[in-house]
Amino acid sequence: MDTEDSRKGASRAAPADRLYLLLFLGNTSTVVPLPREGSVVIGRAAESDLLVEDASVSRQHARVGVAAGEAFIADLGSHNGVRVNGERVQGTRPLDGGDVVTLGNVTLVFHQGERPLPERRALEAEGLRARLSEELDRVRSSGLAVSVLALEVESARVPQVELVRALYGALRLMDAVGQVGGTLLVLLPDLSGEEAEAAAAHLVSVLTPLAGRVRAGLASAPGDGMQGDALLGAAKAAALAAAPGETRVSGPSMYRLALGERSVVVADAALMRLFELLRRLAVSPLPVLIHGETGVGKENAAWAVHHWSSRAEKPFVPLNCAALPESLVEGELFGHERGAFSGADRARAGLLERASGGTLFLDEVAELSLPIQAKLLRALDQQVITRLGDSRERPVDLRVVAATHRVLADEVKAGRFRQDLFFRLSAAVVVLPPLRDRPRELPLLARAFMDDACARAGRPPLHLSAATMEVLGAHPWPGNVRELKHAVEYAVATSPGPVVEPSHLPESLRSKVDAPPEPEAARTAGGAETPMVFQNLAEELRTLERQRMQEALEATGGVQTRAAQLIGMPLRTFAFKLKQHRIAPSRGRGPAGE
């Protein structure tokens, strides 16, 4: 984007006491003088008074007019609309000095010559979320980025308004400062990675003389997700975890817990603390009851208890109590002798007997019938079992971990679950939250599952587009982590290129995306109607953009500056998209790392 020098130079170039617009496009800024009387039409059409060559701008997008020394702006029926300071313009709106005008992905700032601009104040929570939502829309349409910087000030030496003034003095005109509670939040459009970290470090250095100890946290879209509240929360959590004077980048705070023959991906701090609790419970003999919806990973939690316990070398025996018909449950649990029933041609040990010395995992334990519950309680209390067709008691040494998606206390009140068995199983209760309550974890888990699936398929790592992240973030995930894992594995199998688009996701997720209008049928020579086949437009544009960038790099021998000039793309945008498309800059051919 523009530099500090370019902004200062632009301001000096503006005539005194004249009205003008400062246009930001790519990495350049341009002063656009306005007439003393009259209007300027802004658009993409060649006949526009101010020609803006950006796909997000309509052919005739907006009109800025001046009458009697006062300026106004009007939307000319544009597709992406006109916003002033984040608010959608309906009809005509007056302009004040310092107003930030957004036309699609293009930003302009209205100036009133050398007259002092109104002081920029911190946005309140609602205004900040609205502005962030607008920036996320730009990320979806432009493929660029936006970062959120959270600043935690411990002992400010000056009023908060002075801190805000100092921040605005160090920021670009397109940036914004907000305040939620005691946290200062800064929106940094078009910045991510090293550029965002450099901007954050500079702002910390600006505030430190005024505020003493400052902790900073940084989160970016689309990498850390496309949900506004999740980004704000991620930035604030990172700031609280940072040391004074440090900028902590949110993520990838992902852990792979190695649990013997299994590994569990954990990307949420609260869930990590929960697994630490399971580690402590594992060394005790207490029965553990795990609550959680289908697919949240209850069996993985039970396996963790087994793995971390002194029984780890003994069997881990799982049983889904909801998967067996009532007539088979008793035989599965307790075993049977030969001839105990029709078809019992040989003796067979039950699951309780096979789990002796180890851990028995009873998934969906609430689905057991009351008679089976009574027999299970006796086996757990006395540590003995009796096979069907036998009168002998056999000793067992059992550690039980049970799980259910139901609230067992309610099942007890309803008479569907024995109270004594409930007390026996629930000495320690652990609740696994559903995936929809862990929005910060979703993008990290999605990338981890995608990397695993790519490795198994023997293909280079793929990239999730911003549109795909948006679809994943909007889905309620009734199947939780299991559903996400299957969705990502499906996308890896169906994606032909390096970027996963919404069209590569399972139908259950794609149906949430706005369907494109139906194409008109093309008539064949015989008069029959054959529907036209369209490629996803966003995917087609990305493919074309990647191809042109590769061709430009080849033509210039890998010199990025010249390659960017060849295709008319700002160098900073070119460098960003090299990473996005996974193009190796040294060769200009194929994904990075190939």
Q: Is the pLDDT of residue 216 over 90?
A: yes
pLDDT-based confidence at residue 27 (cuts at 50, 70, 90) = low
* Least trusted range by pLDDT, from 75-84, 237-246, 494-503, 554-563: 554-563
Q: Is the pLDDT of residue 495 over 50?
A: yes
Q: Is the pLDDT of residue 417 over 90?
A: yes
Show Cβ contacts of residue 273 under 8 Å, excluding neighbours closer than 6 positions.
none
Show Cβ contacts of residue 137 under 8 Å, excluding neighbours closer than 6 positions.
none
Secondary structure class of 230 (helix, strand, coil): helix
pLDDT at 100: 84
Kindly report the average pLDDT of the chain as a whole number: 82
Q: Is the pLDDT of residue 373 over 80?
A: yes
pLDDT at 538: 54
Mean pLDDT of the 546-567 span: 80
CATH code of the domain made up of 537-580 = 1.10.10
Neighbours of 380 (CB within 10 A): 19
pLDDT at 283: 92
* Cα angle for residues 171, 116, 138 (degrees, 5° grid): 40
pLDDT at 401: 96
pLDDT-based confidence at residue 591 (cuts at 50, 70, 90) = very low
Q: Which fold has domain 4-112?
A: Tumour Suppressor Smad4 (2.60.200)
Tens digit of pLDDT for each residue in 353-367? 999 999 999 999 999
pLDDT-based confidence at residue 518 (cuts at 50, 70, 90) = very low
Is the previous residue joined to 35 through a cis bond, with omega within 30 degrees of 0? Answer: no
Name the residue with tokens 């890896």: 492
Q: Is the pLDDT of residue 2 over 50?
A: no
pLDDT-based confidence at residue 540 (cuts at 50, 70, 90) = low
Q: Is the pLDDT of residue 377 over 90?
A: yes
Distance of alpha carbon 111 from alpha carbon 21, whole angstroms: 6
Tens digit of pLDDT for each residue in 56-69? 899 999 999 998 88
Tens digit of pLDDT for each residue in 233-257? 888 888 888 888 889 888 655 667 8
Using CB atoms within 10 Å of the CB of residue 159, give its burial: 0 to 12 exposed, 13 to 18 middle, 19+ buried. exposed
Using CB atoms within 10 Å of the CB of residue 586, give its burial: 0 to 12 exposed, 13 to 18 middle, 19+ buried. exposed
Strands (E), 409-455: 428-431
Show Cβ contacts of residue 280 under 8 Å, excluding neighbours closer than 6 positions.
none
Long-range CB pairs of 572-579 (<8 Å, 24+ gap) are 572/1, 572/26, 572/27, 573/26, 573/27, 573/144, 574/549, 576/144, 576/145, 576/192, 577/143, 577/545, 577/549, 578/549, 579/193
DSSP-derived pairing of the beta strands 359-363 and 399-404: parallel
Mean pLDDT of the 103-114 span: 80
Q: 144 is written with which tokens?
A: 């660029």
Is the previous residue joined to 222 through a cis bond, with omega within 30 degrees of 0? Answer: yes
pLDDT at 69: 82
Whether the CB-CB separation of 357 and 397 falls below 8 Å is answered with yes
Tens digit of pLDDT for each residue in 92-103? 999 988 788 889
Q: Which fold has domain 436-510?
A: Helicase, Ruva Protein; domain 3 (1.10.8)
Tens digit of pLDDT for each residue in 541-555? 667 777 788 878 887
pLDDT at 251: 64
Q: Which CATH superfamily does the domain covering 258-431 fall into? A: P-loop containing nucleotide triphosphate hydrolases (3.40.50.300)
Q: Is the pLDDT of residue 26 over 70?
A: no
Tens digit of pLDDT for each residue in 309-349? 999 999 999 999 888 887 788 888 888 788 677 777 788 88
pLDDT at 233: 84
pLDDT at 212: 76
Mean pLDDT of the 8-35 span: 65
Delimit the domains of the chain by residue range. Answer: 4-112, 125-249, 258-431, 436-510, 537-580
Going by the DSSP 8-state scheme, the letter that residue 89 receives in this structure is: P
pLDDT at 126: 87
Helix residue spans in 78-192 (DSSP H): 125-142, 160-170
Neighbours of 114 (CB within 10 A): 11
DSSP conformation letters of 102-121: EETTEEEEEEETTSPPPPP-
User: Is the pTM here over 0.75, yes or no?
Assistant: no
pLDDT-based confidence at residue 585 (cuts at 50, 70, 90) = low
DSSP-derived pairing of the beta strands 399-404 and 428-431: unpaired
Whether the CB-CB separation of 265 and 449 falls below 8 Å is answered with yes
Q: Which fold has domain 125-249?
A: Alpha-Beta Plaits (3.30.70)
Tens digit of pLDDT for each residue in 178-212? 988 889 999 999 888 888 899 999 999 888 878 77
pLDDT at 587: 45
Q: Is the pLDDT of residue 426 over 80?
A: yes
Q: Is the pLDDT of residue 435 over 70?
A: yes
pLDDT-based confidence at residue 537 (cuts at 50, 70, 90) = low
